[in-house]
Structure 1
Amino acid sequence: MPSKSEPDNIEHGSSVTIEDTDLKKKNIRDYDVALSFAVDSNSTDWTEAEERKILWKIDAVILTLLFVGAVVSYADTQAYGFAALFGLVKDFKLFVIKIIGGKAIVDTTKYQLSAGMNALGAAAVRNFWTTVQEKCTQSIQGQYPLLLLAQHLPAGRFYGVIITYMGLAAILVIVCQDFAGIATLRFFTGFAVVSQPLSVIITSMWWQNKEQPLRVGIFISGTAIGSLAGQGIDLGAVHLSGAYATSPWKWIYVILGSVTIGFGIFTALVFPANPMNAWFLTAREKEIAVRRLAQNNTGIQTHKFKWKQVKEAFMDPQLYIFGVYSFTFAFVNNAIGSFGGFLVSSFGYSNTRALVLSMPASAVAIISMVSSGMFGTFFPRRRILIAILYLLPAMAGNIIMWKSDRSSKGALLAGLYISTTLYGALVQEFALLSSNVGGHTKKTVINATIFALANLGGFSGPWAYKGDEASRGYPTGQITTMSLFCASVGCFVLLWIYYIHCNKRKALLREQHPELTTDPNVAFADLTDQTNPVFQYVC
């Protein structure tokens, strides 16, 4: 029998039991916060009708908060590229005209650097927190901010604080006066990108594996809706007069920033810490909400930081495979977000017309994300295949933009719209991360590391689109993007092979002891996906 104080030492085929007296000892921090709650309610039975009602409540509150949070936060994020079209670049002197060989060349170095500074700031925040913790605790625990905060604080409340921070950063853009000011502000704005990894962690705290793809698809589609709504607001805002008549782009940040701050404060106040503290559930519904998650075997939250799980995280192939895709997605996303308006205007359209014609791309992204979530629900064992199928048209879209004649505006726009199907693959990545990583420390380490790699991709993206290549469709950017897409497809194939291999190794034990797959003593013992003897990867 395994030691009750060392739940990670579960032997294959053994049963895990944890007595109530053990839960009161200091090693309670070894376990998931839901363990004692789940054990106490182990005899609770419920009907499908009760579970549907609880799921409806969770969707109504948690999914809505995540969805609206994605809408307002991404409306702010996309604003920079379009504010650049309406005076921001001129006001901050981010473009320089150089005469080379008798030709006037637009040097976009300053704009590229400012556009990528948010990603650079997000990556640098790791080193900042490492220094702080070493000074405060005289230890060498170089933990990511996501690890430090999300593991020890209520993830939902922290999510609301991050959204508020994002809104404040947006409003502060209007007080910047030059390149130095906007670059510094965007550096600190980058700290807010932890909202997406937080969303992944929150997802595993509230929904079963089979329910996660659709929910992820819905709230991640909020980013595209935020982009679409933001573009609409941008278009209206730049026509306002008043205090910012000479710099109409400032109205974009005043409006979007104010809305984001308001929603962020609201979210921080109402977002429950976990299902056990859900204000919208009755006592019985809380028991069911927790017990129904036992089959995930990924737990809810553990407050103790475990170095053993850190080591496992960096030895896990999942980390590097997801890291490559995250780098690719962030590269393309930030490049298009920063240069999307210029890309469309390079087709021969005016700035205002370019803004309007960019909107259908957001609509395609919305359809891609929601449909991807639906397919993931209907075909829960085909998530990687679904991701690949959404990457292929995105690759085709980039080829069309690259190779089409610059006079074929319809083909160029079609290529742009088709390229946004890559958001469908993002949904599957989030769902796979939520379902296939067990152990809270490991989960936060992997999400934080992937988030750091994504930031490097986000910083790199704008540099691939060179201002002097506009008339040729930015070939350097398109070639780089295509190469990364190919690498992503290859990594998803490797991930598929890895999951199948791991599942075969544990298949016999799951067949011999099916009761362990939903045993709360196993599900909430904070076991990782590798140490849990009956864990099954969703692929």
Structure 2
Amino acid sequence: MDSSIAYEKPVGARSREKPLADITPTPADLSPTTMTEKPDNNAIEQARLAVDDAESIDKAAAQGRGVDDAFRFAVDGSDVTWTEAEERKVRWKIDAVILPLLFISAVVGYSDSQAYGFAALFGLVTDLKLYAFKVVNGQAALDLSKYSLSASIANLGAVAGQYPLLAAAQYFSYGKFNCAFVIYTGLLSILTIVCKDFSDIMALRFFYGFATITQPLAIIITSMWWKTREQPLRVGLFIAGSALGQLVGQGVDLGATSLKGAYAASPWKWIYVILGSVTIGFGIIAFFIFPATPMTAWFLTQKEKVIAVRRLTTNNTGIQTRKFKLKQLKEAALDPQLALLGVYAFAFAFANAALGAFGPFLITSFGYSKRHGIALLMPATAVAMTSMIVSGALGSMYPRRRIAIAMLFILPSIAGNCILWKVERTNAPALLAGLYISTTFYGALVQQFSLLAGNVAGHTKKSVTNATIVLLANLGGFSGPWSYHGDEAAQGYPTGQISALCLMCASEAAFAILWVYYYYQNKKKAALREAQPELTNDPNISFIDLTDKENPVFDYVC
């Protein structure tokens, strides 16, 4: 983009913020007593040049290229004013529509995904011949390698699907794309009952992995509707839907295995028939309810739509840009945020997948029956759900302490894994307590999601970063079940506990390094933010699809 091009007033606009070239500060404007560093006088001009368009931002906006969909909407409504009460009303409406849709999507989606471990207890392993016997120290032992592979293959499907699916989603409505994959999840859930052998279940589970696209979609949707400081609580609430989905799923699993009828000989099939049908039904309804963007929200008046968009300018992360930018892909790949958040993503998915696939087996290794294995896993799920909600509430109360909160929720998990590793197998109550407190690491997931929503800007960068995080998570999910060895059941699967313990410790270190990174990045841009705080609320910056590094006033929350 030529440096001589100025920002022209959009056709039909009532008013416009000052052009960026006109609000670049001079040295005289800046007070050295309030600045930690001298601001770069060319920072805003460089940000303007970062927009990938040959003529002007307004032309790009008119053609739907290179800038955010909300750009014209925001600048055309720049003279709209509103009160705190009006903004609260808009936020309440968003909470009343978008939050339940995300929450229930998580409930039904996770109800399906957690069912595999319980189905294994009630005939799936034997029906599909996912086992073998081997000799260990002269004695016959159960080899569950095929089951482990079938449990893990969905993660490889997720890895294969993340980049192309998120690249495609950029050109559609994220809400409807999310609902389409809820329906997809339900369909594959029902199709599980027609699988006859190892080959069938491997193929189906691979494509089942594509449904994990709903996780990064939920993060992107969060940044489209809520302010950065509002995001942790909302993230905590709808992610808690995954834990509630596990609880609901476990209740359905327990009841379904008691049903007779067509699947009396294979009660695991009832689990998938019930959960799959409910998931499809909800997905279809949600598809027609979920609005594409705040600019087209059916439940908001015209003024409320403007408020819903304009109030997000301080996020500096935009709403949606329908153009894939290679330079943002490169920036995402080289950003330390990606590697550091990826450590926890891998660790969380590793522990979560291992618990999902082998949690019931772990509890039976304490000496409990199969049906007790389901019932006694429910409190662990309740602890996980409570951790998410509490973490979300703390994140909203202390929005600048998100990393500290994440680290706090990992500490009990470290202790829990130590108990599961070291306590005698005869002490079932202590082992159960260790299992329950080991699930507090779910609370850190809320903070990871809110960091991704609030600290990654630039639409292509956001998509690539979230896709890579989910890719790393699914590699962790693929690895998790393999750390549980069938011949270690009597010892409480020590390899699994040691592996999870090491990864949780690595996550603590990664979060600490991430905090230092954010601190120094914020320090670099502090001078310009303090000199001209109005720039942090300017749609000429917020909605031209700048990345967090390109934006001269971007403020990382940490």
TM-score grouping bracket, smaller chain normalisation: over 0.9
Which of 42, 56, 77 aligns to 2:92? It is 56
Superposed, 1:385-404 pairs within 5 Å as: 385-404=404-423
Give the letter aligned to residue 414 of structure 2.
M
Distance in 1, Cα, partners of 2:221 & 2:444: 20
Corresponding residue SS for 2:377: helix
Which of 483, 486, 489 aligns to 1:470? It is 489
Over 3 Å counting, the alpha-carbon distance change for 1:535 and 1:3 in structure 2 is: farther
Give the letter aligned to residue 328 of structure 1.
A
Which of 253, 261, 274 aligns to 1:242? It is 261
Say if 2:127 is the partner of 1:96.
no
Alignment match, 1:117: 153
Superposed, 1:334-413 pairs within 5 Å as: 334-413=353-432
Alignment match, 2:33: none
Distance in 2, Cα, partners of 1:487 & 1:331: 13
Distance in 2, Cα, partners of 1:315 & 1:98: 46
Corresponding residue SS for 2:140: strand
**Deviation readout 1:413-445 (Å, 9 max, x if unpaired):** 101110110000000000000000000000000
Say if 2:62 is the partner of 1:31.
no
Corresponding residue SS for 1:376: helix
Superposed, 1:124-203 pairs within 5 Å as: 124-125=160-161, 144-203=163-222
Q: 8 Å contact 1:8–1:531 — kept in the other structure?
A: no
**Deviation readout 1:120-155 (Å, 9 max, x if unpaired):** 1111236xxxxxxxxxxxxxxxxx123322211110
Distance in 1, Cα, partners of 2:421 & 2:305: 53
Q: 8 Å contact 2:60–2:66 — kept in the other structure?
A: no
Alignment match, 2:43: 12
| Residue 65 (structure 1) shift | 0.2
Say if 2:524 is the partner of 1:493.
no
- TM-score normalized by the length of structure 1: 0.94
**Deviation readout 1:313-363 (Å, 9 max, x if unpaired):** 111000111111111111111110000110111110000011100000111
Distance in 2, Cα, partners of 1:446 & 1:5: 30
Q: 8 Å contact 1:146–1:444 — kept in the other structure?
A: no
| Residue 266 (structure 1) shift | 1.3
Which of 502, 521, 534 aligns to 2:540? It is 521
Superposed, 1:303-342 pairs within 5 Å as: 303-342=322-361
Distance in 1, Cα, partners of 2:464 & 2:175: 18
**Deviation readout 1:25-69 (Å, 9 max, x if unpaired):** 776411100000000000111011111111111001100000000
Alignment match, 2:557: 538
Distance in 2, Cα, partners of 1:345 & 1:381: 42
Q: Sequence identity, in percent? A: 61
Alignment match, 1:427: 446
Over 3 Å counting, the alpha-carbon distance change for 1:468 and 1:495 in structure 2 is: same
| Residue 96 (structure 1) shift | 1.2
Distance in 2, Cα, partners of 1:535 & 1:49: 27
Q: 8 Å contact 2:237–2:389 — kept in the other structure?
A: yes
Q: 8 Å contact 2:325–2:460 — kept in the other structure?
A: yes
Superposed, 1:192-231 pairs within 5 Å as: 192-231=211-250
Corresponding residue SS for 2:366: coil
Which of 79, 84, 89 aligns to 1:43? It is 79
Give the letter aligned to residue 398 of structure 1.
N
Alignment length (residue pairs): 522
Unaligned runs of 5+ in 2: 9-18, 25-41
Q: 8 Å contact 1:13–1:513 — kept in the other structure?
A: no
Over 3 Å counting, the alpha-carbon distance change for 1:320 and 1:457 in structure 2 is: same
Distance in 2, Cα, partners of 1:353 & 1:390: 27
Unaligned runs of 5+ in 1: 127-143
RMSD over aligned CA atoms reads 2.0
Give the letter aligned to residue 474 of structure 2.
N
Corresponding residue SS for 1:29: coil
Corresponding residue SS for 2:318: coil
Which of 437, 452, 474 aligns to 2:471? It is 452
Over 3 Å counting, the alpha-carbon distance change for 1:26 and 1:275 in structure 2 is: closer
Alignment match, 1:253: 272
**Deviation readout 1:493-518 (Å, 9 max, x if unpaired):** 01000000000000000011111000
| Residue 100 (structure 1) shift | 3.4
Corresponding residue SS for 1:347: coil
Give the letter aligned to residue 505 of structure 1.
K
Alignment match, 2:105: 69
Q: 8 Å contact 2:223–2:453 — kept in the other structure?
A: yes
Which deviates more, 151-160 or 19-28?
19-28
Which of 279, 283, 298 aligns to 2:302? It is 283
Q: 8 Å contact 2:61–2:68 — kept in the other structure?
A: no
**Deviation readout 1:147-174 (Å, 9 max, x if unpaired):** 3222111100000001000000100110
Distance in 2, Cα, partners of 1:20 & 1:214: 38
- TM-score normalized by the length of structure 2: 0.91
Distance in 2, Cα, partners of 1:8 & 1:284: 26
Rg larger in structure: 2
| Residue 16 (structure 1) shift | 6.6
Give the letter aligned to residue 296 of structure 2.
N
Over 3 Å counting, the alpha-carbon distance change for 1:4 and 1:218 in structure 2 is: farther
| Residue 23 (structure 1) shift | 3.6
Give the letter aligned to residue 88 of structure 2.
R
**Deviation readout 1:254-291 (Å, 9 max, x if unpaired):** 00000001111112111111000100101010000000
Give the letter aligned to residue 12 of structure 1.
A
| Residue 22 (structure 1) shift | 2.6
Say if 2:301 is the partner of 1:265.
no
| Residue 460 (structure 1) shift | 0.5
Alignment match, 2:36: none
**Deviation readout 1:380-410 (Å, 9 max, x if unpaired):** 0000000000001011111111111111111
Over 3 Å counting, the alpha-carbon distance change for 1:41 and 1:2 in structure 2 is: farther
Distance in 2, Cα, partners of 1:2 & 1:501: 32
Over 3 Å counting, the alpha-carbon distance change for 1:24 and 1:77 in structure 2 is: closer
Distance in 2, Cα, partners of 1:105 & 1:435: 49
